[in-house]
Amino acid sequence: MMNQLNINGLIAKLPIVQGGMGIGVSLSGLASAVANQGGIGVISAVAIGMTDPDYKNNLRESNIIALRKEIQKAKKLSDGVIGVNIMMAVTDFENLLNVALEEKIDIVFVGAGLPIGSIFEKFKNSTTKFVPIVSSARAAKLIFQHWSDKFSRIPDGVVIEGPLAGGHLGYAKNDVIHPANNLQTLIKIINDTLPVLHEFEIQYNREIPIIAGGGVYSGGDIYDIFNAGAKGVQMGTRFITTTECDVSEAFKYQFINSNEDSITIIDSPVGLPGRVISNDFVKEIQAGNQKPIKCSWKCLSKCDYKKVQFCVAEALLNATKGDFSRGFAFSGMNGYKATEIISVKETMEQIKQEFERFDVRR
């Protein structure tokens, strides 16, 4: 049986964190369904206002309104643990963080950048837990040391995201373009990170749970990750083909209709490689064809809209709505394994059974 996940006193009955998925893929629907099953349901804050028809007038304002609305909706739908995922790479990071803290969200996950600097002092007077998402033991050490030196406290846990994950990846393109489809790299990073965290565990006299993700798809994968020393897993792709996932059916069928060769890598204007399901639009991007774009706001700090090939926010929004002529779906390495759309409850039951089978076999 899987143990509960304890993140500095915040308890999830199931040690499964549903990874935040933008744009509009994980909103209150998916997050509350996962939380109702005992996992941690996570709303992705990135460009969340684009789900509002009026977003073009003022995206920043729409983001604030939409994030607040989705948090409140999720809390009405579930008494379980709800989190918000915010990418450091967005220019309105602080606005989104303020909303999450004002709404007293249970937990904030921050990836796509190093969460250091005075802005994080806000967590001092808050009950909201803070968990950074990293891709290496070195990044974990840097963040924990910074927090310890500057704030005399440390993050409540850490998510380690391996190179098989969906979406933006904190690795060099060469390291993600043809990785072996196994969890060995992720397991190595867990092994490297455990001693780093152990020093802080002694200093602060509490456990710092590692939550590991990226290519974790089955209960058997979870078993291997727990054996390596992680206390929880983060899973994104597996939850996309659920009834409650907040995207269009067409988006979900991209996964069901894909095969192993469909999963590929593109360069994203975020400044990171991204793992996606291939289509003609993706092939044009990979061929280097220019696609001049307009930009009414600057949503990403690193995006030079005059130079990039495409607007990643528009492409993701198109896909979310089901338009793949100018869009694509982010996917983890195992996205092609989806065969049907089932409820989150059924998905969790399957995962638990898969885990038990492994647990007994070993």
Verify binding: residue 22, ligand FMN, rule CB under 6 A: yes
**Residue pair 330/318 in contact by the 8 Å Cβ criterion:** no
Shortest reach from residue 128's CB to ligand FMN, in Å: 17
> What tokens were used for 256?
């069901």
| Residue corresponding to tokens 């092609």 | 336
**Nearest-5° angle of CA 55, CA 59, CA 63?**
95
DSSP state of 315: H
Verify binding: residue 87, ligand FMN, rule CB under 6 A: yes
**Residue pair 234/161 in contact by the 8 Å Cβ criterion:** yes
Verify binding: residue 111, ligand FMN, rule CB under 6 A: yes
Verify binding: residue 85, ligand FMN, rule CB under 6 A: yes
Phi first, then psi: give them for residue 40, nearest 5 degrees: -105, 120
**Residue pair 108/129 in contact by the 8 Å Cβ criterion:** yes
Calpha distance 341→360 (Å, rounded): 28
Q: Of 177 and 199, which has the nearer Cβ to ligand FMN? A: 177
Verify binding: residue 215, ligand FMN, rule CB under 6 A: yes
Calpha distance 205→44 (Å, rounded): 31
Site string for ligand FMN, 175-214 (x = CB under 6 A): --------------------------------------xx
Q: Left, alpha or beta for 49 (phi > 0: left; psi -120 to 50: alpha)?
A: alpha
Shortest reach from residue 250's CB to ligand FMN, in Å: 14
Verify binding: residue 29, ligand FMN, rule CB under 6 A: no
Site string for ligand FMN, 143-162 (x = CB under 6 A): ------------------x-
Calpha distance 230→251 (Å, rounded): 31
**Distances, alpha carbon 190 to alpha carbons 223, 224, 231, 304, in Å:** 14, 11, 11, 34
Verify binding: residue 332, ligand FMN, rule CB under 6 A: yes
Q: Of 19 and 80, which has the nearer Cβ to ligand FMN? A: 19
Q: Which of 167, 170, 209, 269 binds ligand FMN (CB under 6 A)?
A: 167
Q: Which of 24, 39, 236, 327 binds ligand FMN (CB under 6 A)?
A: 236
Nearest-Å Rg of the Cα atoms of the chain is 19
| Residue corresponding to tokens 């749970």 | 209
Q: Which of 226, 330, 336, 355 binds ligand FMN (CB under 6 A)?
A: 330
The residue among 142, 180, 129, 112 whose CA lies nearest residue 11 is 129
Verify binding: residue 237, ligand FMN, rule CB under 6 A: yes
Shortest reach from residue 309's CB to ligand FMN, in Å: 19
Q: Which of 331, 336, 348, 358 binds ligand FMN (CB under 6 A)?
A: 331
β-pairing, 16-18 with 232-235? parallel
Verify binding: residue 258, ligand FMN, rule CB under 6 A: no
The site for ligand FMN, by CB under 6 A, has a size of 29
Shortest reach from residue 70's CB to ligand FMN, in Å: 13
**Which stretches of the chain bind ligand FMN, using CB under 6 A?**
19-22, 25, 44, 46, 85, 87, 111-112, 133, 161, 164-167, 213-216, 234-237, 330-332, 334
